[in-house]
Amino acid sequence: MESEQHFVVTNKTFISVWAALVALTVITVLVAQAHKGNTSVLVPLVIATTKASLVLWYFMHLKYEKKLFKLMLLVPIITLLVILGLTFLDIWFR
Amino acid sequence: MSTENHFDYTGSKIGMWLFLFTEIILFGGLFLVYAVYRYTYPHEFHEAGEHLQVSLGFANTLILLTSSLTAALAVSSLQRDRKYASLWYISGTVALAAVFLINKFLEWSSHISAGMYPGAPALLAKGHGENLFYGLYYVMTGLHGVHVLGGAGALSLVYVWILQGKVDKDRYVALENAVLFWHLVDLVWIYLFPLFYLLI
């Protein structure tokens, strides 16, 4: 049986998150067009990660899950960051 | 042996998340390859990226974000015992998935008819960097497209289960898991869009 403790997110919350995601998408396109020729990848990545966090936190319900789920997510993220870091150490200092 | 219908809600969900982690690592590996080659061939990547239409990528981003909203609403509707609202939201999500794929198909067709398919003479003549950009573009958006198809399939299956009463307001973890997968598909696209379309 499923317990009653599951939190049902309001439609208003979901629609606000969606509006924020659309706004961030517009911002990332505008920033890219304002900085033509700029090779920086930092700003688009920060915006994308903000969007990804909103999706994970609200749409994927992570905010309302047990602590275990939040900690588990750190495993693939840290794994990827370590692999990325080590790969770039190799490229930079080769 | 117990014949009672054993049901482990948290277990089902942890299983789904573990699967999603393998997906994150799968796409993560491709993003790693992308990062290394973009670092190695920054100018070639910019040149190649200019040929992609921002408007198409932007439209597909809006489609996937909206489909994520309808997917999330499908879960909360079923939790509130609004079965038909939930079914409509699932249909909407699958319809948006179809629109996304049609969009992607038209986009790929236009690249291919412009001679920009992997191994095309026009592309090989452009050099290593642009060739790698298009290779990664096809592999990553292609793999993502397969996931869109898989996600739409999973949602359709859950749609049938709701109709059959196997998934309802008390047992909705199957819908939650299918929707989690759908959000992951959205998550991957959130990174694909700026990395391939916004290099200008």
The interface predicted TM-score (ipTM) is: 0.91
Which of B101, B123, B100, B99 lies closest to B112, judged by CA?
A: B123
Pick the more confident residue, A35 or B112. B112
Which of B99, B93, B91 lies closest to A59, judged by CA?
A: B93
What lies within 8 Å, CB to CB, of A7 at 6+ separation is A64
CA distances from B186 to B65, B124, B174 (A): 7, 32, 19
DSSP designation for B167: S
For B1-5, B46-50, B53-57, B169-173, which range has the lowest pLDDT when averaged over its residues? B1-5
Q: Give the pLDDT score at B5.
A: 66
Q: pLDDT (tens digit, 9 = 90+) per residue, B115-170? A: 888 888 888 888 889 999 999 999 999 999 999 999 999 999 999 999 999 999 99
Pick the more confident residue, B7 or A74. A74
Which of B113, B15, B110 lies closest to B55, judged by CA?
A: B110
Whether A18 and B66 lie within 8 Å, measured CB to CB: yes
Q: What is the span of the domain harbouring residue B130?
A: 9-197
Is there a domain that residue B149 lies in?
A: yes
Q: Which residues of B touch A89 (CB under 8 A)?
A: none
Test the B interface: residue of A29, A42, A87 with most B CBs within 10 Å: A29
Pick the more confident residue, A66 or A5. A66
Is there a domain that residue B135 lies in?
A: yes
Is there a domain that residue B89 lies in?
A: yes
Indicate left, alpha or beta for B115 from its phi (over 0: left) and psi (-120 to 50: alpha): left
Q: Mean pLDDT for chain B? A: 93
Is there a domain that residue B36 lies in?
A: yes
Q: Give the pLDDT score at A82.
A: 97
B144 touches chain A (CB under 8 A): no
Test the B interface: residue of A14, A35, A38, A43 with most B CBs within 10 Å: A14
Pick the more confident residue, A86 or A4. A86
Whether B32 and A22 lie within 8 Å, measured CB to CB: no
What lies within 8 Å, CB to CB, of B97 at 6+ separation is B67, B148, B149, B151, B152, B155
Q: Which CATH number covers residue B86?
A: 1.20.120.80
If one counts the domains in chain B, the total is 1
A14 within 8 A of A59, measured Cβ to Cβ: yes
Percent of chain B at pLDDT exceeding 90: 82
Strand, helix or coil for residue B155: helix
Indicate left, alpha or beta for B81 from its phi (over 0: left) and psi (-120 to 50: alpha): left
For A2-16, A54-68, B72-86, which range has the lowest pLDDT when averaged over its residues? A2-16
Whether B72 and A48 lie within 8 Å, measured CB to CB: no
